[in-house]
Amino acid sequence: MFEAIVYVLRTGCQWKALPKERFGSASAVHKRFLEWEKAGFFEALWKAGLAEYDDMQGIAWRWQSVDGAMTRAPLAQQSVGPNPTDRGKKWEQASPAGGRPWRPVVAHRDRGERQ
């Protein structure tokens, strides 16, 4: 299950596009993802990974940069409906001085920068 979830997060594919022969039922994988997310598993994993990286390499906590990009929905108007404010997503990423990303964030494109 975890490998399938990581596959979706790394490739950006839709849940239904998961290779069934490799990962099994996409709906079962998505259901498990929602359960783990609700339980705080991914946030705990992220915090543990940050702490370990900080111990190994050190993180310049006082200096960070943020980068972002706005993208259109892949199928444009066909898949997003008539609402003109619902046509894209904003991808943001915070990085320390060393340049390794901490945590990518996907949000609605109209979300404020500092939320």
End-to-end CA distance of the chain: 31
Q: Which domain holds residue 72?
A: 61-109
For residue 23, pLDDT beyond 70: yes
- 39 inside domain: no
- 92 inside domain: yes
pLDDT digit string (tens) for 50-104? 999 989 988 877 877 777 777 766 655 555 556 656 555 555 666 666 666 555 5
- 37 inside domain: no
> How many structural domains comprise the chain?
1
pLDDT at 36: 93
d(CA 49, CA 53): 6
- 15 inside domain: no
pTM of the model: 0.52
- 27 inside domain: no
- 19 inside domain: no
How many CB atoms sit inside 10 A of residue 4's CB? 21
Which percentage of the chain shows pLDDT scores above 70?
Answer: 61
Q: Write down the H helix ranges in the chain.
A: 2-11, 20-23, 26-38, 41-56, 77-80
- Closest Cα to residue 15, out of 26, 7, 28? 26
